[in-house]
Chains A and B, each alone.
Chain A
Amino acid sequence: MENHFADMTLTRLFGEHPHAREFFLAIGLSELPEELPLAAAVAALDEELLLDVGVERQDLLRQFCDYMAGMEQLRNQQQAMVASVTVLGGHDKSGNPENFRLELRPGEVTCIVGPTGSGKSRFLADIEWLAQGDSPTGRTVLINGAAPDLARRYAVEQKLVAQLSQNMNFVMDLSAEEFIRLHAESRMVADPAAITATILELANSLAGEQFTPVTPVTALSGGQSRALMIADVACLSSSPIVLIDEIENAGIDRKRALSLLADQDKIVLMATHDPILALMGQQRLIFKNGGVAAIRSTSPAERANLTLFEEMDARLTAVRHALRNGEEIAGGF
């Protein structure tokens, strides 16, 4: 591996692997003799410069090869298909056994309900940690029905859970298009421009008000931000599980947002106490005292109520529209 790159001129190396240049830029080595082979270029680096940027010459080649291998792995990563995640119950805070076996499958939405401190976050942490009876809850997590490879625990590139919450904001000062493209490039996707266009289009189809590719992400409204985050997670995140902490009611088509994630074969876990969102799930987990107290499938009667609640919601939305337009709130809504 090392020799393979060492004898290539930088011109050829950067031509064939554009991300190779990124490695040297990131370290702070921007002016390299590109006509030289990599090994010779590294050997020719000024000692003073290496001291300034803080790298050891003898480590540089190895680090570069590690980086290239990591990127190659990312590119080829057909994120080993997760067909199911199984959680076997442990115990609650008082040590009472939970006694459940829960299977989560791609395309399904599972809601999580319970008061603050009831153990919802720990449940998610157990899944991320691939708990094998060795977390504070004693739960066990299986992937595709079997005990997972524990090396995965600390493999950040293969994180199981992507998260979306109301507290999350964009902090990067970039346009929507530049932002998604940056994400696409870091994921090593084959055609960053195409996936960026798809994501912007999907986000706009979820958001009540349209935004353009040149809108700065920090200038997006709450609904637009959430729409962009959801479309981005659905299409670009490698994590098979998506955790959502509520989706605000304003400015986003929540039903379509959920079905977009489900269509991309995500396992969706949603912490919510919104009646409509909670009933949109196939099942819900009820948390108490640090444990899962019950698992409830959404019943036909609840589905009938969901239709009713959606009608009520549509009426309230109409009132909201009327308010925004300065109308009198009278008569039939």
Chain B
Amino acid sequence: MRLITVAGPPSSGKTAIICKTVEALQAVGTSVGVIKFDCLSSGDQVTYERRGIPARTGLSGNLCPDHFYVSNIEECLDWGLQSGFDLLISESAGLCNRCAPHIKDICAVCVIDNLSGVETPRKIGPMLKMADIVVITKGDIVSQAEREVFVHRIRQVNSSAIIIHVNGLTGQGGHELGRLLKDAATVETLQGKLLRFSMPAALCSYCLGQRRIGADFQMGNVKKMELG
């Protein structure tokens, strides 16, 4: 089975482009399952199942979403293997822009939208910088000039990724993205595999439930701004 990690900022169109791409893949007889990682709630499992795409949801709730993801992805892979899929897609939102679910030797996709502005590529960390494929959405509502500048800005932070435009509404580009995903590497186990980049350090008193503000209550990994 092939595994694909799809990540991108909230509302960038991940679910829409996965739906359109899976539609194109199913049309040529590829069976695909989706694991959706979210924080508080997600209606996307229904969205997927309505389109005949088997899906499971993981809600991280009180936990850091990407740490939750990495603690569960192995079991998700097993679910995919048992279900007999040709391809399993994990979908997660990079909520602090510094997280990345991408795993070495596993096809990594980042979804980013044209409407978020040309500064956005600079604001996203390893999720974008270490992706193999960057999918740009919502290109149909901004000017050609902005699309080209956006691509250039992505190139500045990721010089080797394949950059592709997909329209989440019409599905244009979904067929082409599907072709790329079909060439992803196969994987039988994630045991011992490495994340492409470390996840943000999060071990301070606030991780443990502290709510009170003030220096006396800050312990562990605390970093201070320089305000000049």
Q: Give Cα A180 to B146, complex, Å.
A: 10
- Asked if A28 is at the interface (CB within 8 A of a chain B CB), the reply is yes
8 Å CB contact of A67 from B143, B148, B159: B159
Contact assessment for B180 and A167 in the assembled complex, using a CB-CB cutoff below 8 Å:
no
Mark each residue of chain B from 121 to 150: 1 if its CB lies under 8 Å from any CB of chain A, else 0: 110011001100000000011111110110
Q: Is B51 an interface residue (CB 8 A)?
A: no
**In chain A, what residue has the closest Cβ to B160?**
A66
Chain A residues with CB under 8 A of B197: 54, 56
- The answer to whether B143 and A182 touch across the interface, beta carbons within 8 angstroms, is no
Specify which chain A residues have a CB less than 8 angstroms from the CB of B125 in the assembled complex: 53-54
- The count of chain A contact residues (Cβ–Cβ below 8 Å) is 47
CA A64 to CA B145, docked complex, whole Å: 25
Verify B141–A169 contact, CB threshold 8 A. yes
- Give the CA-CA distance A63 to B158 in the complex, in Å: 7
Contacts of A63 in B (CB 8 A): 158-160
A28 x B100 contact (CB < 8 A): no
A287 contacts partner chain B, Cβ-Cβ < 8 Å: no
A-binding segment of B4-12, B83-91, B169-177: B169-177
Asked if residues B159 and A70 are in contact (CB atoms below 8 Å), the reply is yes
**Contact: B149 with A154, CB < 8 Å?**
no
> Across the interface, do B152 and A186 meet the contact criterion of CB distance under 8 Å?
yes
Docked Cα-Cα span, A27 to B158, in Å, equals 9
Categorize the interface residue count of chain B.
35 or more
B133: nearest residue on chain A (CB-CB)? A154
| In the assembled complex, A170 has its CB within 8 A of some CB on chain B | yes
Q: Does B156 contact A (CB under 8 A)?
A: yes
Contacts of A156 in B (CB 8 A): 151, 162-165
Cross-interface CB contact of B146 among A22, A64, A165, A171, cutoff 8 Å: A171
Give complex CA distance A56, B100 in Å: 14
A41 to chain B, nearest CB (A): 18
Are A183 and B145 in contact, with the CB atoms below 8 A? Answer: yes
Contact check: which of A66, A229, A236 meets B159 at CB < 8 Å? Answer: A66
In the complex, chain A residues whose CB is within 8 Å of the CB of B153:
26, 186
- Report Cα–Cα, A269/B17, bound state, in Å: 26
A112 to chain B, nearest CB (A): 15
- A/B interface sample: 20 pairs, CB < 8 A: A22-B156, A23-B156, A26-B156, A51-B198, A56-B197, A63-B159, A64-B159, A67-B155, A67-B159, A121-B170, A121-B172, A154-B164, A156-B162, A164-B143, A168-B143, A168-B144, A172-B117, A172-B118, A186-B149, A232-B144
